[in-house]
């Protein structure tokens, strides 16, 4: 019988991470999280430091307008973090790409800084480094407001239909991947407003091995979303739909094919040849 994947919350084998698989850069893009960023950083560092032999922690602040910069400057004197701050707001996609550019280890673990994911759930993703290139933590169950759950469901359903990919949550805030892949793909990302969805689709079409793992998700403890303001939902939805169409047109012009479809057609040809 195949080994059953632990459900959200474990139990997990909490390290040590196999050193032969390479070190890990833990990357936090941060914007206006002054009330929660200290708890986020302390919990993740406590969980991974000592269990991941070659660990670096990169904190990339994106032009915050609250006291986030002050908090991070203090924490940089207390915690083993590499801090990069910006005087201007770059937006989520650009901020994530720039944050990852500071990573130096073979693997990059990018986590949203609002502490809606448990640090211990890193160990749900980590074992799959042996067999996959991109490991996505899927919120299970999702604890966002209802309108965001509905938007995410529709967004992912549309992406699956448009690009014929099998992934449930392509814009997760809890993801682990090889650094060399993002170095290859990041310069091509330009159509979608949110980094991970376009990255996942491009990685899929490039033939990389992608795995989805259910992880726990918590309601936001303090503050509100910095992206999905209700007043901007129509514009956000329109922008994402237009981005999907532009990316699909790019794929058609470049002759990019879904690897799953290519493999299915090859299997059918082999089956016909044997008959």
* 57-102 pLDDT tens trace: 999 999 999 999 999 999 999 999 999 999 999 988 899 999 999 9
CA separation for the pair 31, 113 (Å, rounded):
8
Residue 94 vs residues 22, 61, 89, 186: alpha-carbon distances, Å: 26, 12, 9, 10
Per residue of the chain (275 residues), what is the pLDDT tens digit? 344 566 788 789 999 999 999 999 999 999 999 999 999 999 999 999 999 999 999 999 999 999 999 999 999 999 999 999 999 999 888 999 999 999 999 999 999 999 999 999 999 999 999 999 999 999 988 888 888 888 888 889 999 999 999 999 998 999 999 999 999 999 999 998 889 999 999 999 999 999 999 999 998 776 555 554 555 666 778 888 999 999 999 999 999 989 877 666 656 666 666 66
Q: Answer yes or no: are the C-beta atoms of 144 and 112 closer than 8 Å.
A: no
Q: Answer yes or no: are the C-beta atoms of 35 and 70 closer than 8 Å.
A: no
Strand residues in the chain grouped as ranges (E): 24-30, 55-61, 82-84, 107-111, 134-139, 174-178, 210-215
CA separation for the pair 223, 18 (Å, rounded):
37
22-274 classified as CATH 3.40.50.2000: no
60: tokens are: 């990339």
Burial 143-162 (b: 16+ CB within 10 A, else e): ebeeebeebbeebbeebeee
């Amino acid at each position: 019988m195949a080994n059953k994947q632990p459900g959200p919350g474990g139990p997990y084998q909490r390290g040590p991470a196999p050193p032969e698989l390479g070190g890990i850069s833990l990357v936090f893009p941060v914007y206006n999280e002054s009330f929660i960023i200290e708890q986020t950083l302390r919990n993740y560092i406590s969980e991974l430091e000592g269990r991941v032999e070659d660990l670096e922690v990169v904190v990339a602040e994106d032009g915050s307008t609250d006291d986030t910069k002050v908090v991070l400057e203090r924490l940089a004197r207390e915690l083993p973090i590499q801090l990069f701050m910006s005087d201007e707001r770059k937006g989520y996609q650009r901020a994530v790409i720039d944050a990852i550019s500071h990573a130096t280890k073979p693997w990059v673990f990018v986590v949203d800084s609002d502490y809606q994911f448990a640090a211990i759930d890193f160990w749900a993703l980590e074992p799959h480094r042996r067999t996959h290139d991109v490991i996505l933590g899927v919120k299970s169950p999702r604890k966002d407001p209802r309108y965001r759950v509905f938007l995410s469901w529709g967004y992912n359903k549309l992406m699956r239909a448009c690009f014929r990919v099998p992934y449930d949550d392509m814009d997760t805030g809890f993801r682990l991947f090889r650094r060399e892949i993002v170095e290859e793909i990041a310069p091509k990302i330009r159509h979608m407003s949110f980094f991970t969805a376009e990255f996942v689709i491009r990685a899929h079409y490039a033939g990389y091995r992608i795995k989805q793992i259910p992880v726990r998700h918590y309601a936001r403890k303090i503050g509100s979303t910095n992206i999905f303001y209700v007043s901007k939902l129509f514009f956000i939805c329109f922008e994402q739909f237009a981005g999907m169409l532009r990316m699909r047109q790019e794929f058609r012009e470049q002759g990019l094919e879904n690897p799953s479809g290519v493999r299915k057609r090859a299997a059918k040809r082999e089956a016909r040849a044997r008959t």
